[in-house]
């Protein structure tokens, strides 16, 4: 019998490290097709066996997932970063800003979670049958490498990092900048400590420091972490890489938000800096052991994640095919991969979680359907209008913007 590789429609670019890691793990068993923007015709041309969501805009992902469901094609999303309280509950792109809540519920048929911690949390959000503990494929290169430089004890080099989006409103921005200013001032009084910076947005200019990262890819981040003996970061997925490389990690968070992903060291006030920095550079064995326990809960790291994801893909496709052959209603069973039991706690209604969100306060399904239909039609019209704009229109728009900016600056200088 001729072997036919699976066709995987990957939502995201070919440069996405998650999808690329899974593609390499699949080898000749699967053919990958990459697509960033939704196109219903691609489904007809490719006839994919599964849709894989690794990156992209949330509303675009939903269009892929809905089309896959319409055509009885399974969909798998991969968690692309840690769960972070402010991103979950204060990010204007999601529920608090009037958009769809992130992972509440998971829209795909399954989601590959970083580890047991995020699987438990997502299950508590109403996704008990959808969570699978896979790990993070792009981190396999660290898991499989044994050549990285161990940290010095006591250490003398400290890496200071921020998340790509360290704040979501002006209040958070002020707190993040204040925490970094306090940290810079404290470290300036410690000339024996070498400081490396990896900051996002315009933060380096505001602080008057220079980023030390020359390569913005994961390889550059790993080299930078290896150059340090300890790490201080705003809540970020980069904390996982740091823990995997045995660097003690402190979360710098003056917002003092709740933590889905805890850390041994927490810096939520200026008064914490002296003790935390000293301890980070010469940590005790008990605290490093506890950090390793945290890492093992946050990240599945007992086996390569990419092969685990592809194993899940094979099982999902086979289950869908089997149920369709039997003319059964398609539904995937829970825990298709070996994992610890998921305990689901009390789940509040979305209206309680996001009291300012108008849609979640609407309980009438007919009204919701009508509003959804209107929103979909308006979105289609706006997209057609944008596509009809000529290059001259956009150049004129850009020119008008720079004229306003120039006049504004002249006015401020006056």
CA separation for the pair 121, 100 (Å, rounded): 18
Asked if the model's pLDDT at residue 61 lies above 90, the reply is: no
Q: Please indicate, yes or no, whether residues 189 and 260 belong to a single structural domain of this protein.
A: yes
- Flag the least confident range among 128-137, 288-297, 398-407: 398-407
Name the DSSP class of 95: G
Cis peptide preceding 154, ω within 30 of 0 = yes
What is the pLDDT confidence band of residue 393, given thresholds at 50, 70 and 90? low
Question: pTM of this prediction?
Answer: 0.86
Q: Please indicate, yes or no, whether residues 320 and 388 belong to a single structural domain of this protein.
A: no
Predicted local confidence at residue 155, as pLDDT? 96
CA separation for the pair 50, 74 (Å, rounded): 5
For residue 330, being part of any structural domain is answered with no
What is the pLDDT confidence band of residue 382, given thresholds at 50, 70 and 90? confident
For residue 347, being part of any structural domain is answered with no
List the one residue out of 162, 323, 287, 147 whose CA is nearest residue 219: 147
- SS3 letters across 28-49: HHEEEEEECCCCHHHHHHHCCC
For residue 348, being part of any structural domain is answered with no
Predicted local confidence at residue 38, as pLDDT? 85
Give the rounded distance of the alpha carbon of 260 from its chain centre: 13
Predicted local confidence at residue 268, as pLDDT? 97
Q: Please indicate, yes or no, whether residues 265 and 288 belong to a single structural domain of this protein.
A: yes
Contacts of 287 (CB under 8 A, 6+ apart): 248, 264, 265, 279
Question: Angle formed by the axes of helices 170-188 and 273-281, to 10°?
Answer: 60
Tell me how crowded residue 56 is: count the other CB atoms within 10 A of its CB: 22
Q: Please indicate, yes or no, whether residues 125 and 224 belong to a single structural domain of this protein.
A: no
Q: Please indicate, yes or no, whether residues 281 and 157 belong to a single structural domain of this protein.
A: yes
Q: Please indicate, yes or no, whether residues 160 and 46 belong to a single structural domain of this protein.
A: no
For residue 332, being part of any structural domain is answered with no
Q: Please indicate, yes or no, whether residues 259 and 277 belong to a single structural domain of this protein.
A: yes
Region 320-345: mean pLDDT is 81
CA separation for the pair 219, 257 (Å, rounded): 30
Predicted local confidence at residue 56, as pLDDT? 60
CATH of the domain at 63: 3.40.50.2000
Identify whether the C-beta of residue 345 lies closer than 8 Å to the C-beta of residue 124: yes
Percentage helix, strand, coil, to 5, in the chain?
50, 10, 40
The domain containing residue 27 runs over which residues? 6-136+303-325
- SS3 letters across 214-244: CCCCHHHHHHHHHHCCEEEECCCCHHHHHHH
Structure tokens that stand for 391 in this block: 């290059």
Percent pLDDT > 70 in the chain is 91
Region 357-368: mean pLDDT is 86
Q: Is 267 exposed, middle or buried (0-12, 13-18, 19+ CB in 10 A)?
A: buried
Q: Please indicate, yes or no, whether residues 370 and 276 belong to a single structural domain of this protein.
A: no
Q: Please indicate, yes or no, whether residues 279 and 164 belong to a single structural domain of this protein.
A: yes
Cis peptide preceding 212, ω within 30 of 0 = no
- Flag the least confident range among 76-85, 181-190, 302-311, 395-404: 395-404
Q: Please indicate, yes or no, whether residues 160 and 174 belong to a single structural domain of this protein.
A: yes
Q: Please indicate, yes or no, whether residues 81 and 163 belong to a single structural domain of this protein.
A: no
Predicted local confidence at residue 111, as pLDDT? 96
Q: Please indicate, yes or no, whether residues 188 and 270 belong to a single structural domain of this protein.
A: yes
Query: Over the stretch 194-213, which tens digit does the pLDDT of each residue have?
Result: 999 999 989 999 999 999 97
Q: Which parts of 63-104 are beta strand (E)?
A: 75-78
Among the residues of 299-390, which ranges form H helices? 305-325, 350-353, 365-388
Predicted local confidence at residue 351, as pLDDT? 85
Asked if the model's pLDDT at residue 113 lies above 70, the reply is: yes
Asked if the model's pLDDT at residue 309 lies above 70, the reply is: yes
For residue 212, being part of any structural domain is answered with yes
Q: What is the domain count for the chain? A: 3
Among residues 279, 298, 317, which one ends one of the domains?
A: 298
Asked if the model's pLDDT at residue 144 lies above 60, the reply is: yes
Query: Which residues are paired to 31 by β-bridges?
Result: 7
For residue 312, being part of any structural domain is answered with yes
List the one residue out of 55, 52, 90 whose CA is nearest residue 74: 52
Place of tokens 């795909």: 108
- Flag the least confident range among 98-112, 174-188, 327-341: 327-341
Contacts of 373 (CB under 8 A, 6+ apart): none
Predicted local confidence at residue 174, as pLDDT? 97
Higher pLDDT, 359 or 287: 287
For residue 345, being part of any structural domain is answered with no
For residue 357, being part of any structural domain is answered with no
């Amino acid at each position: 019998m001729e072997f036919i590789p699976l066709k995987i429609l990957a939502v995201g670019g070919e440069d996405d490290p998650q999808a690329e890691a899974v593609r390499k793990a699949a080898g000749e068993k699967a053919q990958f097709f990459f697509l960033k923007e939704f196109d219903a015709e691609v489904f007809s041309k490719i006839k994919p066996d599964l849709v894989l969501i690794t990156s992209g805009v949330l509303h675009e992902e939903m269009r892929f997932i809905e089309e896959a469901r319409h055509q009885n094609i399974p969909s798998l999303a991969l968690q692309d970063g840690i769960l972070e309280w402010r991103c979950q509950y204060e990010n204007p792109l999601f529920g608090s800003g009037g958009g769809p809540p992130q992972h509440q519920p998971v829209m795909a048929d399954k989601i590959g979670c970083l580890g047991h911690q995020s699987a438990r949390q997502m299950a508590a959000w109403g996704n008990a049958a959808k969570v699978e503990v896979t790990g993070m494929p792009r981190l396999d290169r660290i898991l499989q490498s044994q050549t990285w430089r161990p940290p010095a004890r006591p250490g003398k080099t400290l890496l200071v990092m921020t998340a790509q989006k360290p704040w979501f409103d002006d209040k958070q921005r002020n707190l993040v900048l204040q925490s970094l200013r306090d940290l810079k001032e404290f470290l300036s009084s410690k000339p024996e400590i070498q400081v490396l910076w990896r900051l996002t947005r315009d933060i380096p200019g505001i602080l008057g420091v220079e980023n030390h990262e020359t390569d913005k890819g994961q390889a550059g981040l790993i080299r930078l972490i290896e150059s340090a003996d300890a790490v201080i970061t705003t809540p970020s997925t980069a904390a996982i890489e740091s823990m995997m490389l045995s660097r003690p990690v402190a979360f710098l968070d003056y917002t003092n938000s709740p933590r889905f992903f805890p850390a041994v060291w927490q810096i939520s006030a200026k008064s914490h800096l002296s003790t935390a920095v000293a301890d980070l550079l010469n940590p005790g064995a008990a605290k490093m052991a506890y950090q390793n326990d945290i890492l093992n809960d946050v990240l599945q790291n007992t086996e390569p994640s990419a092969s685990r994801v592809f194993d899940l893909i094979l099982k999902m496709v086979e289950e869908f095919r089997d149920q369709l052959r039997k003319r059964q209603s398609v539904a995937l069973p829970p825990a298709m991969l070996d994992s610890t039991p998921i305990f689901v706690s009390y789940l509040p209604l979305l209206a309680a979680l996001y009291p300012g969100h108008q849609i979640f306060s609407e309980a009438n399904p007919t009204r919701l359907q009508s509003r959804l239909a209107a929103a979909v039609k308006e979105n289609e019209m706006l997209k057609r209008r944008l596509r009809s704009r000529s290059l001259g229109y956009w150049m004129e728009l850009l020119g008008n913007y720079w004229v306003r900016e120039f006049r504004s600056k002249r006015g401020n200088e006056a």
